[in-house]
Amino acid sequence: MPRLLVISLNYRTPEMTLRSARAALREMAGLEAELIIVDNDSADGSFETMQAGLAEPWAQGAPIRLIRSDRNGGFGAGNNVGIRAGWSDGSRPDYIYLLNSDAFPGPGSLRRLLDHLETHPEAGFAGSHIHGEDGTPHISAFRFPSILSEFEGAARFGPISRALGAYKVPLDLPETTRRVDWLAGASLMMRQDVLDRIGLFDETFFLYFEETELCLRAARAGYQTHYVRDSAVAHIGSVSTGMKRWQRIPGFWLDSRWHYFSKSHGRGYAALATLAHVAGGVLWRARRVIQRKPAADPAHFLRDMVIHDLRALMPGAARPTASRSEIKAE
């Protein structure tokens, strides 16, 4: 039986993480699987809270470990800590499964991802159908971003979206299992062999675009990413990041966006992607004034993006870095 390492990354949501862990353990039954909870240097007592929770009867004898990262390097870096920790005996699992701390696997969800990868050798990654706790589907399957997708997404204009439909990043909700470009990391299973070949998450990303870039690296190495419709996982979303409450776009999002485009396609392409976004954004803002539409972006979004990316283009520009304080302040 293939061996599966499940990784749950906690940042200041210990009770939620333990609830997710209990759901994961139920779905791990009958599989050769272990669960690692990584506390991403929460520094708020989360580690101790989870230690106490794992001493309760439900966790006794369960294949579960709690480890602590010595720094908060973001989503990718935290999951890399768990991936590098490996199996409890020091050996290597066959598959890695990333489960957000605010995500709760439904019946059979893990087994269906595992069976899919076992029977589809062309797939390096497989992810679940994500829905809210009320059953509302979440957008979690995507195309890779491009210059044209930047223009389409920023313009928010029906005729443009129809003309550039093949470049829209969010896919319409797939009704069946299918190949996609990339998937959200809330419930994502990966072959260890693929990670051995292409590497782990790029830790330059603090938050956002890290799954996109990892799936792109896999695609360029010849591995597909599959959306598995009958693997269902409930997800609350944005619990640790506070994204739904953003009043201003955080620097780490701008860092990640620029790093994705410049690493994957070159700095010139990244600059053109920004120009396309600005062009679409200006069109949208003109329509907002004429049609009296409400704002759809955080305050000063275009200005912040342009200033950030101009600085990134300057000779000798420092490598992007992100601060956890940008999350703590939300």
Q: Would the pLDDT of 15 be above 50?
A: yes
**Residue 324: pLDDT over 70:** no
Choose one of 213, 240, 267: the last residue of a domain: 240
Residue reference for tokens 């940042």? 11
Three-state DSSP class for residue 126? strand
SS3 288: helix
201 lies in a domain? yes
28 shares its domain with 128: yes
- Above pLDDT 70, what percent of the chain? 93
Identify whether residues 24 and 73 lie together within a single domain. yes
d(CA 173, CA 45): 39
Which amino acid, one-letter code, is at 164?
Answer: L
User: Do 186 and 253 fall into the same domain?
Assistant: no
pLDDT value for 319: 55
| Percentage of the residues of the chain whose pLDDT score is greater than 90 | 90
The confidence score (pLDDT) of residue 237 equals 74
pTM for this model (two decimals): 0.93
Total structural domains within the chain: 2
Is 267 in the same domain as 189? no
d(CA 151, CA 132): 29
41-76 residue pLDDT tens: 999 999 999 999 999 999 999 999 999 999 999 999
Q: What is the mean pLDDT of residues 173-191?
A: 97
Q: What are the pLDDT digits (tens) for 271-308? A: 999 999 999 999 999 999 999 999 999 999 999 999 99
Over residues 222-262, the pLDDT tens digits come to 999 999 999 999 999 755 445 556 689 999 999 999 999 99
Instruction: Output the average pLDDT for the chain.
Output: 93
Indicate whether 219 and 267 sit together in one domain.
no
Place of tokens 């966006």: 257
For the chain, the residue count is 330
Domain that holds residue 253: 244-328
151, containing H or E segment: helix 147-155
Region 154-173 average pLDDT? 97
Are 321 and 280 contained in the same domain? yes
Mean pLDDT in residue range 164-169: 98
Region 181-188: mean pLDDT is 97
Measured distance CA(314)–CA(310) in Å, rounded: 7
Tell me if 151 is assigned to some domain.
no
- Residues 312, 196 share a domain: no
Check if the beta carbon of residue 65 is closer than 8 Å to that of residue 197.
no
Rounded mean pLDDT of 113-121?
98
CB 149 within 8 A of CB 143: yes
24 lies in the same domain as 62: yes
